Amino acid sequence: MSEPILSARAVRKTYQSGDRRIEVLSGVDLAVERSETVSIRGESGSGKSTLLNLLAGLDKPDAGEVIWGGGLGLDVRSTFLGMVFQSFYLIPELNALQNVLVARRIVGGIGSAERARAKDLLARVGLAERSHHLPSQLSGGERQRVAVARALMNQPQLVLADEPTGNLDERTGDSVIELLLGLCADTGTALVLVTHNAAHAAKTSRQLFLHNGVLQSAPKPIQP
């Protein structure tokens, strides 16, 4: 069997609340294979976003380890993984095309090939005619589509998505999930999707549930 693209081993995380220490994650194990799509659900406050931040290297576990691609370091984060957040996090002064190119600017120069890729990604997410619009001129669904294109700009091996439809209506959310899963399938990109939506989780190849600080297999939800 090939090396997992992402591994979490016995990951623990606690937070201080007054005089109390609250254990949010109490020994999480996770292995994600190349091109695999995995969803993680759980009750509000169960630690889903905390776990995703640890997987992304944005925070450090109190114990255990997170391993990328068999042992890659944080210095490759911008090319190894892309992230999609609930709140879009687009730069308001930049248009859609420029926001997608921000991901590339972090790791190197921008030439004609990079601009062509960014335009192609915007076309694939249905925004070819909106590439020069500012975020304030886009709908919530369009802004999240820009965020998906940005996450894929550097051809990452893995995308982490944290409640990417949380600020969208049901119909728009469904279309964003279909888009994200379709693009990951087309490019062979692995995906870890944190979501509260059982129907969205059902569309991934593996469904997990975070409960009492550990990950467990979740029954496959019935698709509507």
Q: What is the domain partition of the chain in residue ranges?
A: 36-46+74-217
Integer CA distances (angstroms), 52 to 9, 41, 60, 101, 120, in order: 14, 12, 11, 24, 28
Model-level pTM greater than 0.75?
yes
Q: How far apart are CA 41 and CA 217, in angstroms?
A: 10
At the top level of CATH, the class of 36-46+74-217 is: alpha beta
The span from the CA of 44 to the CA of 18, in Å, is: 21
- pLDDT in tens for each of the 224 residues of the chain? 578 999 999 999 998 888 888 899 999 999 999 999 999 999 888 899 999 999 999 999 999 999 998 888 888 888 899 999 999 999 999 999 999 999 999 888 899 999 999 999 999 999 999 999 999 999 999 999 999 999 999 999 999 999 999 999 999 999 999 999 999 999 999 999 999 999 999 999 999 999 999 999 876 544 54
